[in-house]
Amino acid sequence: MGEPLANKVLLIGWDAADWKVINPLLDQGLMPTLDDFVNHGVMGNIATLRPILSPMLWNSIATGKRAHKHGIHGFTEPDPQGAGVRPVASTSRKVKALWNILTQRGYRAHVLGWFAGHPAEPINGISISDLYPHATAPLGEEWPLPPGTVHPESMRERFAGLRMHPAEVTEAAILPWIPRAKEIDQEKDKGLNSFAKILSENCSIHNAATWILQNEPWDFLAVYYNAIDHFCHGFMHFHPPRMEGIPEDKFEIYKDVVNGAYRFHDMMLQTLLDLAGPDTTVLLVSDHGFHSDHLRPKGIPREPAGPAVQHRPFGIFCMRGPQVKQDERIYGANLLDVTPTILTLFGLPVGEDMDGRVLVQAFEQPPEIARTPSWEDEPGECGMHSADRRMDPAAAQAMLQRLVALGYIQPPSEDQSKAVASTMRELKYNLARDYLDSRRPQKALPLLEEVAREKPDQARFHLHLAQCFLALRRNQEAKEILQRLLLPKTETAEASAAASTQDEAAAQAPVSGDEASPPPWADLLMGVIQFEERDLEAALASLLRAERADPRLPGLHLRIGETYLRQERVQDAERAFRKALDIDGDCPEAHLGLAMVHLRQHRDAEAAEEALLAVSLQHLLPPGHFYLGVALARLGHLQRAVLAFETCLAMLPGLVAAHRWLATLYSQPGGDSEKAARHRSLHTELRRKKRANARV
């Protein structure tokens, strides 16, 4: 056990919070609490995981593990008792969360409102489930808490009295956000109802959190607010600048709601910080961002979890505390890093089966990091439920209705067997996407083949199957899928939505009305396949057709840049990568592309800068670390180059060129001859295997 770096830790979750919205508010002095927070701590982007679905992401934050390990694969799941479909539950999580680990070590831990947190877990502290704030009856009628909402049960009535009903959101509360609310025809426009529900639910969670901080002993508290995400899903299309097709009168009414949501969170943050005290280490994180500019989609895909197309792959990370650097920016944070970092703050070992790492760059002095094989094997009471605990049927139904209203799931079929089958397909599909995101295509393949067989008309399944075949170097099978299902057909709304999962920007593609020409995302995919087949002229022709149809696709310009690079058209490649950055300045692959361009141009310092930007945005980017190593080695920064290559190989051990570079660098005077020999041997063996595979 290491030396603790914190007396207390407060973890605050702001779902969908995004620096793109926050930074202008900070510049205007409209989020003073957060401004002071980051000036006395560290801040940076935090990279999300795919699929960008909140139940999966928040449980990765709480466990340090990807979805294929923690077991939460979507919004709903079959009821273990055979009662159709239910929302994912705390009993669905297969591994220990932070509060379970801390319970096991005797810490007083509290958790409030966490996604997939019902029924509340029997931890050493107070647990309040995500079902807690939802009003189930009109104001004035009985509004009992569902069973399992609060642990311990003895505090049930105490917390029931802290809730706020949507009908209690008065005109005085509404007008600062929506000054022209009186102009709304509430018979036709339900915006105010939605606003009141979101606001009241988050006030309820906040009331419970502040009560605990004032009245209960604590070592750790985690509180989750969903308001930013829900306000953005409901009102981001009214956010300035006005989107095409948005009526000017409605824009004028609702244009300030999203900014108001952030300012409201800033006020709640101040209260939490005041109650937590200056000696508490505080982490503020979001699971993803939210498109707020020209990348806002013009429509929502008609598929389960379609609203996720509005999510941006970078959220926010802030941290402040006695051992934390002040007024510093950190780079390369990932959702999976939160749990290892908090365990280190408590001086507890990090599980070797966790997928994240400790954010050592956030601390004034590098912390001592202890390791344990797995917390899952640690004996003792941890406050987890048995997996067979049943959720209250009424509570499950209320949560299902909430998810349907938000657009995250389709209304369940009245035929329970159909509902279960549909739910299982989505869970398998999401699990496969998690495997693809973690570079395990061989694990994804049988799942995608199964769902594609079950639903041959669902293009999104086949598109991901094609992507999986590409990852496995089975290009012909990928090409056959694309030719059979996409190229001969006019783009449908569903297929367009599915393509957005292949590339984040594809959701922006307009529906084509020209049956003679393929939609841009189909040309993009075909270009990828032709590129893999080294048919560069055909690949470029496909990609340029896509560019003519929709020049805003950032993933498209990345592919064009890669193709130009392969053709040694370096200046054309640079223009393509810069176009990608004009569309999305936070695109790590575009910075990586520029690093490759600059290396070809022998502009090594600029190459190092671009590669560093790439890995700062997305740490789990092995080519970024490789090209950073190349640039640093050319610049003579040999030790830093070694670190970059070693980091690359930790993520991608089979990268032959990285072993060659390390063999060379370790052979330099003052190097390590033993390591040089080992990397030389690995380089030779990997090349031999590569040649043997090529002959097969």
Tens digits of residue pLDDT in 545-563: 889 888 877 689 999 999 9
Are 78 and 85 in contact by the 8 Å Cβ rule? The answer is yes
Instruction: Give the distance from CA 534 to its chain's centroid.
Output: 33
Task: Round to whole Å and give the CA distance between 118 and 392.
Answer: 10
Are 113 and 205 in contact by the 8 Å Cβ rule? The answer is yes
Contacts of 140 (CB under 8 A, 6+ apart): none
The pLDDT tens digits of the residues spanning 625-670 come to 999 999 999 999 999 999 999 999 998 999 999 999 999 999 999 8
Task: Round to whole Å and give the CA distance between 411 and 304.
Answer: 10
With H, G, I as helix, E, B as strand and everything else as coil, classify residue 175: coil
Are 316 and 14 in contact by the 8 Å Cβ rule? The answer is yes
Q: Please report, for the chain, the start and end positions of each structural domain, with discontinuous segments joined by +.
A: 8-394, 602-696
* pLDDT score for 174: 94
The pLDDT tens digits of the residues spanning 336-360 come to 999 999 999 999 999 999 999 999 9
| Partners of 87 in beta bridges | 76
Q: How confident is the model at residue 503 (pLDDT cuts 50, 70, 90)?
A: very low
Q: Angle 151-157-158 (CA atoms, 0-180°, nearest 5)?
A: 85
Task: Round to whole Å and give the CA distance between 113 and 117.
Answer: 7
DSSP at 153:
G
Residues 126-141, buried b or exposed e (16+ Cβ, 10 A)?
bbbbbbbbbbbeeeee
Please, is 566 exposed, middle or buried when counting C-beta atoms within 10 Å of its C-beta (0-12, 13-18, 19+)? middle
Task: Round to whole Å and give the CA distance between 478 and 392.
Answer: 45
* pLDDT score for 499: 38
Give the DSSP per-residue string, 512-572.
Answer: P--TTS--HHHHHHHHHHHHHTT-HHHHHHHHHHHHHH-TT-HHHHHHHHHHHHHTT-HHH
- Range with the lowest mean pLDDT among 191-205, 363-377, 388-402? 388-402
For residues 288 and 690, the model is more confident at 288
Residues in the chain: 696
| Partners of 282 in beta bridges | 10, 320
CA dihedral 444, 416, 92, 143 (to 10 degrees): 140
Quote the CATH superfamily of domain 8-394. Answer: Alkaline Phosphatase, subunit A (3.40.720.10)
Pairing relation of β-strands 350-351 and 371-372?
parallel
| Partners of 14 in beta bridges | 225
Task: Round to whole Å and give the CA distance between 320 and 41.
Answer: 4
With H, G, I as helix, E, B as strand and everything else as coil, classify residue 641: helix
- Asked if the model's pLDDT at residue 500 lies above 60, the reply is no
**What single-letter amino acid sits at 463?**
L
DSSP at 115:
T
Q: Output the CA torsion sign for 128, 131, 133, 135.
A: negative
The pLDDT tens digits of the residues spanning 279-324 come to 999 999 999 999 999 889 888 888 888 899 999 999 999 999 999 9
Task: Round to whole Å and give the CA distance between 631 and 625.
Answer: 10
Both tokens of 404, joined, read: 């349907």
For residues 217 and 516, the model is more confident at 217
- Asked if the model's pLDDT at residue 376 lies above 50, the reply is yes
Task: Round to whole Å and give the CA distance between 489 and 494.
Answer: 12
Are 224 and 272 in contact by the 8 Å Cβ rule? The answer is no
Are 475 and 533 in contact by the 8 Å Cβ rule? The answer is yes
DSSP at 256:
T
Task: Round to whole Å and give the CA distance between 287 and 651.
Answer: 22
Q: How confident is the model at residue 390 (pLDDT cuts 50, 70, 90)?
A: low
Residues 199-228, buried b or exposed e (16+ Cβ, 10 A)?
bbbbbbbbbbbbbbbeeeebbbbbbbbbbb
Which CATH topology does 602-696 take? 1.25.40
Packed helices 554-566 and 588-600: angle between N→C axes, nearest 10 degrees? 20
First to last CA, the chain: 50
With H, G, I as helix, E, B as strand and everything else as coil, classify residue 492: coil
DSSP at 290:
E
Whole-prediction pTM: 0.85
Both tokens of 77, joined, read: 């799941």
